[in-house]
Amino acid sequence: MIVILKENHDKRQLDNLIAWLKSMDINVHISEGIRQTVLGLIGDTSIVDADLIRALDIVEDVKLVQEPYKKANRKFHPQDTVVDVSGVKVGAGHFCIIAGPCSIESEEQICGIARSVKQAGAAMLRGGAFKPRTSPYAFQGLRANGIEMLLLAKKETGLPIVSEIMDISQLPLFEEVDLLQVGARNMQNFELLKELGTLDKPILLKRGLSSTIQELLMSAEYIMASGNENVILCERGIRTFETYTRNTLDISAIPLVKELSHLPVIVDPSHATGISRLVKPMSVAAAAAGADGLIIEVHNDPPHALCDGVQSITPAAFADLVANIKAILPNAHHY
């Protein structure tokens, strides 16, 4: 951490600051320039609150040298993490494709799609029971009933299942769900993250609509700091001024997150673009850029899907997509 002092700062206040830092075992190197004096803080600066120092009278600015995340940081954990979801591995060369409908609509629908996507090469089944919808008047999901139908599809196909949890109070319903998804709108629901950190269950953490990569990693850190290190990150598009696509899929986040962190990164091209025709090219691009997997919206009857149908693809289109992925990833472990 680097502290830039104001010109003509009070020397006594500076002594106080240095004494306080030393009391926390932080060493301070002072560089005096012509216009500017700069302090270099050395030691475990993760315990020093940069905002607090920035607020001091004598301080002009504070610059961080080290990342504020530790457990998610590749510097402290150089090898790739492999997350095991009920036997399906994700990360470190294990490429995992998750597929299924945005919303669970009926037992027939979810079981039918489950069979189709399993045959086409999906390793896990997704299905939404609790749906975060912008409008209170839109379909909110089948909730507890939806989870039950998803469990039937799991039983029938053997595929591990993924579903979004929206509130701590829903936890009892998710006991047999294999991978718990935290949606983009809840990426900074810190109370939920802390609770999920106490579980012995892998978590799929989606990047918020306007969250930076560092914020995504800090949210992962919340879960990991509470004890649960089985976190899979998901890039799903960020909000920009572009209006043709729903969001802008940040493909560069894939190699960047993998450089900064050891956690696996998968990509959701369906929600990112909101356009079914873009799902295949974006999937292939994500795989080419080094993603550890994909989560794809598949519906047996896209035009009648109860939500987000515009971005769904059919089981046939999904099978074609899987073939394309396999062609460009000959050396990855496919499920």
Is 12 one of the binding residues for a second copy (CB under 8 A)? no
CB 60 within 8 A of CB 48: no
**Member of 159, 177, 192, 295 binding a second copy (CB under 8 A):** 192
**Eight-state DSSP code of residue 302:** G
DSSP of 192-223, one letter per residue? HHHHHTTSSS-EEEEPPTT--HHHHHHHHHHH
Is 331 one of the binding residues for a second copy (CB under 8 A)? no
Q: What is the Cα–Cα distance from 219 to 216, expressed in whole angstroms?
A: 5
Q: What is the Cα–Cα distance from 287 to 328, expressed in whole angstroms?
A: 8
| Residues in region 118-147 near a second copy by CB under 8 A | 130, 132-140
Least separation in angstroms between residue 218's CB and a second copy is: 5
**Member of 124, 162, 254, 266 binding a second copy (CB under 8 A):** 254
**Which among 85-93, 114-122, 147-155, 187-195 is the span making contact with a second copy, rule CB under 8 A?**
187-195
- The interaxial angle of helices 315-328 and 279-288, nearest 10 deg, is 20
**Which among 32-40, 116-124, 173-181, 315-323 is the span making contact with a second copy, rule CB under 8 A?**
32-40
Dihedral sign, CA of 85, 90, 94, 96? positive
Nearer to a second copy, 46 or 119 (CB): 46
Nearer to a second copy, 86 or 199 (CB): 199
Is 186 one of the binding residues for a second copy (CB under 8 A)? yes
**Which among 79-87, 88-96, 114-122, 184-192 is the span making contact with a second copy, rule CB under 8 A?**
184-192
Q: What is the Cα–Cα distance from 144 to 170, expressed in whole angstroms?
A: 9
Is 16 one of the binding residues for a second copy (CB under 8 A)? no
CB 236 within 8 A of CB 164: no
Give me the 200-219 binding string for a second copy, x by CB under 8 A, dash otherwise: ---------xx-xxxx--x-
